[in-house]
């Protein structure tokens, strides 16, 4: 890890954080951020997925953050995640990107929290989607130093 940036954050971004290039033990290269949901003190890991229509959060997170998020509406049609159809609710969820360099940023995101049948277990990670989060910020990636840059969309 670098201790200081070799360049300035400039006008495009206000902060930068490190990202991981693998999610848990899988061998696939990913862009994984530790994010803070709804003023939680402990971060969660989420894969940046520019193909996802919204952020998608593990259903087990709902009981931890339910009092600090706002329901928007139920999905009007199922969302297919890796070939499986899921229904659920869209929520307004504050997500904070904690800066290692510069200033942190909190954004009101739209997130899907799927509803599962009682006997089904959620097998997927959390995802940061394009619509409802990434399209509300400026962002860039420096793969040479594993830095994710972010700033307010002006």
Structure tokens at 19: 């990202």
Q: Which domains does the chain have, with CATH numbers?
A: 15-131 (2.40.70.10)
In the predicted structure, residue 58 carries a pLDDT above the cut 70 = yes
Nearest to 35 by CA among 127, 139, 143: 127
Question: What are 80-101's pLDDT values in tens digits?
Answer: 988 889 999 999 999 999 999 9
Distance of CA 105 to the CA centre of its chain: 13
In the predicted structure, residue 25 carries a pLDDT above the cut 70 = no
Q: What is the pLDDT of residue 29?
A: 75
Q: What is the pLDDT of residue 28?
A: 76
Q: Distance between CA 80 and CA 10 in Å, rounded?
A: 39
Q: Distance between CA 77 and CA 40 in Å, rounded?
A: 30
Distance of CA 108 to the CA centre of its chain: 11
Average pLDDT over residues 103-131: 94
Average pLDDT over residues 22-36: 84
Distance of CA 27 to the CA centre of its chain: 20
């Amino acid at each position: 890890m670098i201790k200081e940036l070799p360049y300035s954050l400039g006008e495009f971004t206000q902060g930068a954080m490190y990202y991981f290039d693998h999610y848990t033990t899988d061998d696939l290269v990913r862009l994984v951020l530790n994010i803070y949901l709804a003023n939680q003190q402990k971060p969660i890991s989420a894969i940046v997925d520019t193909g996802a229509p919204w952020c998608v959060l593990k259903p087990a997170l709902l009981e931890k953050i339910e009092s600090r998020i706002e329901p928007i509406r139920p999905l009007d049609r199922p969302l297919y995640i890796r070939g499986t159809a899921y229904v659920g609710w869209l929520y307004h969820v504050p997500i904070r990107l904690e800066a290692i360099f510069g200033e942190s940023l909190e954004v009101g995101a739209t997130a899907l929290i799927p509803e599962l049948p009682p006997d089904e277990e959620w097998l997927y990670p959390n995802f940061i989607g394009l619509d409802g989060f990434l399209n509300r910020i400026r962002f860039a990636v420096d793969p040479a130093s594993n830095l994710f840059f972010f700033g307010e969309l002006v």
